[in-house]
Amino acid sequence: MISNLACSQCPLCFYTVYKYIGTVTDVAKQEFLINYKSHDANGLAQSQTVGSVGLWVRTSLLPHVGSVRGEMAAALSRALKLPGKKGSELGEYDPLTQADSDDESEEDDLVLNYPRNGLGRDSCLGTGSSKLRGGRSGRLVGAEDGVQDDDEDEEEDEWRERLPSKSRQDRNDMKGVQYWSHRDSDGERKREDRGGPGAMGGAGLGLHSSDEQKRLRVKNAIRSAFFLVPLVCATVVVLLCAFLIPCQKGDLEKRLQWEKALGGTGGVTPPALALWDVDGDSVEDVFLGVTESTNETHTTQIYSAVALSGVSGQVLWKKVMSEAVMYIQCGLQYSTVPSPVCLLICKSYIMAVNGTTGKKLWSSSIKSIESQAVLLPDLQGDSHPDLLVATLPADDKFDLSLTLISGETGALLGRAVPFNVTAQGTLIGPWLYETQQGVYYILFGLGNVKAVSLRDIYFQATGKLPETQALRKKDSGWEGMKKDNFSSIIQIYSPRDHDQARFLLPLVAGFGRNHNNLDTASNLNSTRSDWVLVYGGSVQLLLRQRNLRKKWTYKTASSQSQPVAGHFNSDGILDLFIQHSSNGVMKTLIIDGANGTRLWAAEFVCPHLRLETSAISTSTGQSAFLFWASDPIKAQKNVTKTTVSPGVAVAEPLIRKLYMLHPTYPTVLLELASTTDTAVTSAVRYQDHQKDASYITVSSSTMPNSVPSTYIVKCVSLRAAITKGQTVWIGDGSKTAGALKPGEVSKFFRHLTFRHQ
């Protein structure tokens, strides 16, 4: 037991114990020297438990201590740097029983609060609470007060000088080793005092700590797995999408170009055509009115409305009708029907169908329908917009009637309201117009232009005012233009001589015969825009801000096709593309929408087509114009105009060509396509994701073996057609061609993209 007092590597411990043994008895001193030498010879570990020192002192030394016990204990504590405290009452200092006292000095805190294995002094995995250990320790009473610390310090310094080989760092390292050895031995001794398991208890705690560490490692591994597995999966998916899965853009562009043959036709009469997305693929689908013959004599015909997929041209649905479909309009929205609703307008009835399935929703019988439907505000207060169509009256004393229809059920609202417009000619409108005061008027006429308040039409049809207060208002400026208080008609334009009105249309980009749908957005744009009136040989711009008073008038030849609005210059005001044909020559020109001056003009061999021009918005902010014509006529070789006498028809050219004109190069045309078929109607749609546009044409093609002519519906990607297009110089373009760099024009058109305005 004495051999465990100190180690051979700790001379300070040896000196302290040896010195104070001598004060007790020579026998104890001799026993200490013998065991110390044996301990040093065996080469025991340097970090022996300090608890053994305390145990030897308690069992062997204390019986001989007597009155000098307090002095020896104080010196031993300073030598071993053991924590402890002085008694508050007796002044005693016991390092063996006060190691874990609550009232610790500043130096003791630095030692005791040092973490062990990552745990604090109060951790459950340690050897026990230091507070509890300090509380359970007893104090040895009987030491003398007034120990002389100064004498002891001097003796300790003298001993340190005799052993210079040990550095201070070695002594500090030994202090920490001795402290932890003391704590472990002290805890074991206390467990023995309480009848505990002793060393086996320490082993039990170590086993418990090992299990806890294993559980922590498993828990950390599970957490890491939950984090890393989703991260790896997400990375794999991104890599698959980015590199391994092939891009479908090229396939989509190929699929957007298709051709579909549909039934026999009745000649070159333009069929009903409309565009609207009804299958939710973000590509506008094609709706077409078709007439088919069941036999060779054409005595029996079948009428139908067909919906074609805008992506592939496959038939989505087909609806058999009892009459030929004159107009197709889509865009109505019902709260009870999630899909868009389309109107199929025939001569004697209107049918509303589900745009996705073609299922009939309602039908309304109306005789002698002459126009498309006009979308009106809610007249009945049922939260659904209502409709209006122009019809021929049953009474020959009147020229035209306006009929109101419920947009929800298709029921007639009252009776048809007849009007005597006192003119003959092309049907104008009807159109919905909103004044500056927010009052709605209907513009219509036959060779002239009249206006009637929507409030008056509803009152004459039903005998009561509209349910909505906003529709009961009057515009004093417009009401003052009436001839008298008994008339409801306002005169907008009256023809002179042969200058009958031919077209009246809102000045809106993209507006056309095949894009007059019933959605609220486009309807709002048209009702609040300026208007263009084409009559006789003149084109006139009517300003909404001045209650449809003219701003400018441009004199030109009579036009057989409706003007198209687009941006030719960069002033932000829509310009007008106009074409007219005479004596086998088709003249095309563009009029400035700001002042009515001519911006561009060209002449072509007449293709004998009455096909509406299309204006497409491009990425440059200007519009590209698509039109059908034959070869351009050179200014110096204008043979057609001089050799053909008036009234003699020119032989129909064999080839008709589709040209594109862009304002950046006004002397260059890009030839996109050529055909011998007769195109009867066309439309343009946009693909915003591809920054492309598609040109859809319906052509009448005569089949061999005396088979009746067939409608050919063709969808062409404009960007794909541009890559195969050929440049054609017009006017004086050949003179300026030398100033352009080689390939400059082709490069410009190849990089041209299209966007919805």
Tens of pLDDT along 85-102?
444 444 444 444 444 444
Determine, yes or no, domain membership for 529.
yes
**pLDDT tops 90 at residue 348:** yes
**pLDDT tops 50 at residue 122:** no
Domain termination residue (choose one: 308, 341, 365): 365
Determine, yes or no, domain membership for 39.
no
**pLDDT tops 60 at residue 598:** yes
Could you tell me if 329 and 286 lie in one domain? yes
Q: How confident is the model over 295-314, as a mean pLDDT?
A: 84
How many domains does the chain divide into?
3
pLDDT band at 467; cut points 50, 70, 90: confident
Does 199 or 422 have the greater pLDDT score?
A: 422
Determine the Cα–Cα distance for residues 738 and 734; give it in Å rounded to an integer.
8
Is this prediction's pTM over 0.75? no
Q: How confident is the model over 288-303, as a mean pLDDT?
A: 78
Neighbouring C-beta atoms of residue 664, cutoff 10 Å: 13
Could you tell me if 621 and 542 lie in one domain? no
Determine, yes or no, domain membership for 407.
yes
Q: What is the Cβ-side half-sphere exposure of residue 53, based on CA atoms within 13 angstroms? A: 29
Determine the Cα–Cα distance for residues 445 and 493; give it in Å rounded to an integer.
9
Determine, yes or no, domain membership for 17.
no
**pLDDT tops 60 at residue 181:** no
Neighbouring C-beta atoms of residue 203, cutoff 10 Å: 11
Could you tell me if 415 and 444 lie in one domain? yes
Determine, yes or no, domain membership for 534.
yes
DSSP state of 116: B
Average the pLDDT over each of 46-50, 367-371, 408-412, 653-657 and give the range with the smallest value: 46-50
pLDDT at 130: 38
pLDDT at 298: 61
pLDDT at 592: 94
Domain termination residue (choose one: 346, 365, 384): 365
Could you tell me if 740 and 682 lie in one domain? yes
pLDDT band at 296; cut points 50, 70, 90: low
Does 79 or 87 have the greater pLDDT score?
A: 79
Could you tell me if 320 and 440 lie in one domain? no
pLDDT at 638: 42
Range among 102-116, 399-413, 557-571 with highest mean pLDDT value: 399-413
**pLDDT tops 60 at residue 299:** yes
Could you tell me if 441 and 471 lie in one domain? yes
As a whole-number percent, the residues of the chain with pLDDT over 90 amount to 34
Phi, then psi, of 161 in degrees rounded to 5 = -65, -30
Could you tell me if 617 and 546 lie in one domain? no
Average the pLDDT over each of 136-145, 531-540, 618-627, 743-752 and give the range with the smallest value: 136-145
Q: Smallest Cα–Cα separation from 575: which of 561, 594, 554, 600?
A: 594
Task: Give the angle 251-253-255 at the CA atoms, nearest 5°.
Answer: 70
- Burial of residue 300, with CB atoms counted within 10 A of its CB: 0-12 exposed, 13-18 middle, 19 or more buried: exposed
pLDDT at 508: 87
Neighbouring C-beta atoms of residue 689, cutoff 10 Å: 10
Q: How confident is the model over 539-545, as a mean pLDDT?
A: 83
**pLDDT tops 90 at residue 664:** yes
Determine, yes or no, domain membership for 66.
no
Could you tell me if 398 and 354 lie in one domain? no
Determine, yes or no, domain membership for 167.
no
Could you tell me if 548 and 402 lie in one domain? yes
Could you tell me if 296 and 396 lie in one domain? no
Determine, yes or no, domain membership for 705.
yes
Q: Smallest Cα–Cα separation from 435: which of 476, 374, 377?
A: 476
How distant is the alpha carbon of residue 686 from its chain centre? 19
Does 232 or 172 have the greater pLDDT score?
A: 232
Q: Indicate the average pLDDT of the chain.
A: 75
pLDDT at 399: 86
pLDDT at 705: 53
Residue 327: helix, strand or coil by DSSP?
A: strand
CA-based radius of gyration for the chain? 52
Domain termination residue (choose one: 536, 555, 574): 555
Could you tell me if 281 and 406 lie in one domain? no
pLDDT at 436: 86
pLDDT at 730: 87
Tokens representing residue 315 in the block: 């038939």
Could you tell me if 453 and 521 lie in one domain? yes
User: What's the CATH code of the domain at 356?
Assistant: 2.40.10.480
CA–CA distances in Å: residue 34 to residues 30, 41, 44, 645: 6, 11, 15, 148
pLDDT at 330: 93
pLDDT at 18: 52
**Paired residues of 727 in beta bridges:** 670
CB 518 within 8 A of CB 343: yes
Structural domain boundaries, residue 456:
372-555
Phi, then psi, of 579 in degrees rounded to 5 = -135, 145
